Structures are given as structure tokens and as C-alpha cells.
Structure 1
Amino acid sequence: MGHRSPLAHAPRPTTRTRRGICVNSTVKAVSGPVVLATDASVGVDRVASGYLSTTGHTGLRAHLYPPYLARPRARVVVTELRAVHWGLKAVLAAHSGRPVEVRVDSIEALKYLHVWQRGGNRMPEGYSTHLRSQGRTPTLVQLQMVAEYTPHLTFVHEKAHVGNPLNEAADSLAKLGLRCVRGQVAGSELPRLVPLWATGALAEYRRAA
């Protein structure tokens, strides 16, 4: 994968927009410490997140952006943090108790994660902490609790677009999700593309280790 995004080989555009998509997959893991990379891609009215872990867990989510969740200028950091939530949810469910290093390329998102680890509860500007439909706890409130109460979590900054295979894959997956909900990529292609790109990125990560 390197510096070139696999989006260069994405399917031809379609014309159907979608309200939301969610794809989670598992591919062959890389031995060694657990490292999770996450990223986000944000449009005018849609957002997307992607993640890839050395445990082989990978996925993307994209959807219309409800305006009540945060003010427009905060939607980037909210989506970055949501990417961390979904990635950690998959990894911790399968590897509870193992140390996990989470790499994010958003310094603003990293600040919130560190505040939450220290017991703070500050949220991005305008983000509502009221219960969602059917009594669901807001995503960032769930992540706040995970950050505070899960031992052996480390949150570090990963500089974007410097060729790190995990970060590049998370970035590409988020962009793929955004293109799908815009109607530029067929949703039927995602179950094939997500594990394909994840496998390629982990193979490159393995070679570079």
C-alpha cells in the first residue's frame, strides 16, 4: 500500500446514496503487541470512520451526520473519536486484558482521550450526552468510560500520510465509507474490499516490522 491509497482501484461510481453503512471483518493477525489505528473522513452532511488492528480486526462505518450531536466545527473530532470507539470495541471484545496501543492522527481527539483517562468528562463542543433513542448511551460517553476504566490502554499520536501501513489503511477505509454513502461506491463491494485492503496493509506492516 505504502503512500498510494488503494482507493485508486475502487469500483466505478454508482448513483445511489445511502443513509448509513457498517462493515466489520476479521483477517489474519500479525504477531506481537496489539496496535490499533483509527481514522475519520468528514463531508458536509456525512461522516465516516475506519480502523485496523494487528489482531486482524478491521471495519468502517459511515452515515448521515445528525446535526444535534455536535456543532459543525466539532464533527471532525467527534468522528475521529467514534473511530476509536468502534475499533476498541472490536479489539477488546476479542482480547480483553491485553495491552493495546491506539494510534490516532488527530491531536484534538488525542487530547480528549488523555483527559478521559485521567477521569475527566469534557466533551467536544456541542456534543449531546443525553440518551439516544431506545435509551442508548452516547458513543463518546461509552468511549470515555472505556478510556478511564480499561487498564493497559495507550493512546499515541500517529502522523498522517507518512506511509504507516495501519494508518494509511484506516484512512483509506474511512474514505471508502464516505464514498459509499455518497453513492460513489457500491455497498455490495464493501465486504470484499474491506478485508482485501486490511490484509494488504497487515502484510506490509509485517514486512516492515
Structure 2
Amino acid sequence: MHVNDKVEAVAGPIVLATDAAVSPDRVASGYLSTTGHTGLRAHLYPKYLVRPCSRVVVTELRAVYVGLKAVLHTHPDRPIEVRVDNLQALRHLHSWQQGGTDMPEGYDTHLRSQGRRPSLVKLQLLAEYTPHLIFVHEKAHAGHPLNEAADSLAKLGLRCVRGSIPRTELPRLVPLWAAGALADYRRSLAA
């Protein structure tokens, strides 16, 4: 399941916050950008795909990929600051910017169905060949409006895939939460 939406943007530099939520057999990721792009993805996660310790890192990196894909589509040449609260994911992003090809332990880099590249391979290429990306650490649960929104969106996705929130509510809730977080972010810039 996934929801991608766009709400009113915040003027100024582009900042993209991403986060992930993981349970033993489900994963979810969320993102929010000052461009107004927002979304979440959530699904069952087959245990055989990667080692359990890597599942969080893979999901965090997938959140970065989905968020960047949305923002780069409409702002291909603008600098983008990507805020990640997972240090292991951040290490991969910095390595990829320098031409590294290491992947999270156990991540399968073979082509997917219909010959598609795996999402982390696509992210690795984006990190290496998009010069205006800046990857920074954002301390988790420190009250930053964008990071808190990405965290909340990921948790919303996880609750939905567990069945505690109806999927039909996501198209209403995602833009509502994103708009509120961007309003908080706007106020924090004015303070």
C-alpha cells in the first residue's frame, strides 16, 4: 500500500525528512519535504529477503529513495538536504556519494521482476550522480517538525497494514498530517 500526495510548500531551501517503522513481519516508511511532497509506503515484508538487523536500514533507505524520487521529479536541479535519523543508513548514503557500492547486509541486488533494478541500487546511483544532494543526521524524536511527521507517517502506515486503521482513511490523513507539520515548520523558521 502506498500514498503519495502534495500539500502547500514552504518557501526556501528544500529539506526532505524520511523515516521508517518496522515490526517483525511488516515495514513502513514515510517522507515529507518542504516542497509539499509527502507520502508513505507499508507492506508485509518476507523474512527471507534480508537479515532482521538490516530490515530497518533497508526500509530507511527506501524512504529516502521514494521521497527523493518525488522531489527530484519537480525540482531536478535544486539542492536538497535529506535528513535521516538512522546513522547506519546515513553511512551508506555518504559512501554511495563517494562511489561506494556496499549494500546493507543480506540485501539482494539482482534484478527484480520485469528486469527492474532494486530500489537501493537506484538510490545508490542517485546519491553518486546527483551532486546537489546533502545527507545529514537528524536526531530522532527531538521535536523537529519534519522528522516527527515522517516518523508519524511511517507509524501510520504500519498501523494501517496491521489493520488498525482503514486504508480508506490514508488519503485524508496523510495530507492532513503533512500540512500540519509544514505549518509547524513554517512557524519554527519565523521564530
TM over 0.5: yes
Is 1:160 the counterpart of 2:144 in the alignment? no
The one-letter code sitting in structure 2 at the alignment partner of 1:123 is M
Query: Could you say which residue in structure 1 is the equivalent of 2:6?
Result: 26
Query: Could you say which residue in structure 1 is the equivalent of 2:56?
Result: 76
Q: Which has the higher contact order (CA 8 A, sep 6+)?
A: 1
2:47 to 59, 67, 71: 67
Query: In structure 1, how many angstroms separate the alpha carbons of the residues matched to 2:46 and 2:75?
Result: 32
Gapped regions of structure 2 (runs ≥ 5) = none
Is 1:208 the counterpart of 2:188 in the alignment? yes
Aligned-residue sequence identity (percent) comes to 75
Query: In structure 2, how many angstroms separate the alpha carbons of the residues matched to 1:31 and 1:68?
Result: 43
Is 1:108 the counterpart of 2:88 in the alignment? yes
Structure 1 segments of 4 or more deviating over 3 A? none
Q: What's the TM-score, normalizing by structure 1?
A: 0.89
Q: How many residues are treated as equivalent by the alignment?
A: 189
1:69 offset after TM fit, Å? 2.8
Query: Could you say which residue in structure 2 is the equivalent of 1:150?
Result: 130
Q: What's the TM-score, normalizing by structure 2?
A: 0.98
1:135 offset after TM fit, Å? 1.0
The one-letter code sitting in structure 1 at the alignment partner of 2:116 is R
Gapped regions of structure 1 (runs ≥ 5) = 1-20
Q: CA RMSD in A?
A: 0.6
Q: Deviations over 1:20-65 (max 9, x none)?
A: x100000000000000000000001010000000000000000111
Query: Could you say which residue in structure 1 is the equivalent of 2:69?
Result: 89
Query: In structure 2, how many angstroms separate the alpha carbons of the residues matched to 1:69 and 1:84?
Result: 19
1:46 to 26, 32, 36: 26
